[in-house]
Amino acid sequence: MIFLLAAAVWVGSDACQPCHSQIYKSYMETPMAASSGVAREIPPGTLLHRASRTSYEIRRDGIVRYRRPGGTGEQRLRFFVGSGAAGQSYLIERDGYLYQAPLTWYTGKKHWDASPGYQDDLEPDWSRPIDPSCLSCHASQLAHIYGTVNRYADPPFRQAGVGCERCHGPGSEHAAGKARMVSPGKLDAARRDDVCRQCHLQGEARIERTGRRFLEYRAGDLLSEFVAYFVMDEAGGGDLKVTSHVEKLALSRCKQTSGDQLWCGSCHDPHGMPKNRALWFQDKCLSCHKPQECNRGADCAACHMPKSRAVDAGHGVFTDHSIPRRALPRTARGEAAWRLRPFSRRDAGDREMGLAYAQLYQRTNDARHKAEAEKLLGARIR
């Protein structure tokens, strides 16, 4: 059986439909299944990026015309990433290389604005590379050309969105009746949680193990055998980020009290969306908490999992999975934490932590990060 699973290859979600038609149908209506695709119907509009004095005109067919001091230009939005729940960013293609567009459609505000990280750019360009470790959590069956950062075959992914095999493993042997698929809920706690962690754990740095690649991970493996994650060593776990669900949940009293009994699947049905979200999540909360503990109504998540702006999401808002007892206003922070720690005991290693500090130094230019990297790696960092 193990050999057959190792020999399995990707076949795509459509291969699941004949036997699992109801699950397939409901899953295709979830945000995960709609997290990428070909850009066809683009919300038309305009955008003035004040920092760079660049004006954009976005057409429904994906053509973007822009004017800035010194000239004009035109690009075509070819693909989108993001389900649209918070917003959608777009990719352009040049000679087989994929780049992120500097403008994003924000669903909540129903308007165009700068993509995350582009807000203050004085010269926003169209050259931010889309590497496969990023795209793999939005699309399936990537056609990345090994040895390059952001070059792909045409099309760059053979299946839009997150496919069934992301959580259940490659399906060719199962489709042929020779093996079972991975069922995350039946795995041990570490392997079960890793199925979700592969895309919902961000950290400050993710470092590949020697001789391993993140893209080699398959559901049922131990993620720590492929990569190590590092987070800031600070109380509260730092700022809310787009994909910091796992870090935040680990800080919650619910998780710390329940241990391995509580995981993503305790509250979320990955195969479908609840018709009444408030009642759905209230039922999950009341499986542990007594009804008389609160008299504020049915929407537990509105108070205890508030939506707020993520620091890396521009104008997008995301759910705080730290499940605070009371939603407290943000206060001025003291000196920012700078030290890293492994996210878990399995995310260890001097080499990996040294590389994490080196990676962080490239973003922060903090001499303390450089010093830690050099100490752990025994090499000079430029």
Residue 120 binned pLDDT confidence (cut-offs 50, 70, 90): confident
- The stretch 147-152 carries a mean pLDDT of 96
| Distance, CA of 230 to chain centre | 16
Spatial CA neighbour of 355 closest among 207, 173, 163: 207
Question: 340: which strand partners?
Answer: 232
DSSP assignment of 228-291: EEEEE--GGGSS--TT-HHHHHHHSHHHHHHGGG--HHHH--TT---SSHHHHHHHHHHTTS-G
- The stretch 212-238 carries a mean pLDDT of 90
- The stretch 225-249 carries a mean pLDDT of 82
- The stretch 237-260 carries a mean pLDDT of 84
What is the percent of the chain with per-residue pLDDT over 70, rounded to a whole number?
Answer: 91
Q: Report the chain's mean pLDDT, rounded to a whole number.
A: 90
pLDDT of residue 313: 55
Question: Going by DSSP bridges, is the β-strand pair 87-94/103-106 parallel, antiparallel, or unpaired?
Answer: antiparallel
* Cα(157)–Cα(94) distance, integer angstroms: 16
Write the single-letter amino acid at 7.
A
Residue 2 binned pLDDT confidence (cut-offs 50, 70, 90): very low
State both tokens at 173: 């042997």
Q: What is the pLDDT of residues 288-332, one digit of tens each?
A: 888 766 777 778 888 888 887 766 655 555 788 888 877 655 544
Write the single-letter amino acid at 234.
E
State both tokens at 349: 């290693």
> Would the pLDDT of 3 be above 50?
no
3-state secondary structure of 356: helix
- The stretch 127-149 carries a mean pLDDT of 94
* Cα(242)–Cα(248) distance, integer angstroms: 11
Q: What is the pLDDT of residues 156-187, one digit of tens each?
A: 999 999 999 999 999 999 999 999 999 999 99
* Cα(147)–Cα(282) distance, integer angstroms: 48
pLDDT of residue 86: 86
Q: What is the pTM of this model?
A: 0.89
pLDDT of residue 237: 61
* Cα(302)–Cα(327) distance, integer angstroms: 10
Q: Are 353 and 375 in contact (CB under 8 A)?
A: no
Question: 231: which strand partners?
Answer: 341
pLDDT of residue 326: 72
- The stretch 126-146 carries a mean pLDDT of 94
State both tokens at 189: 């706690």
State both tokens at 190: 């570490």
Residue 261 binned pLDDT confidence (cut-offs 50, 70, 90): very high
pLDDT of residue 33: 96
> Would the pLDDT of 5 be above 60?
no
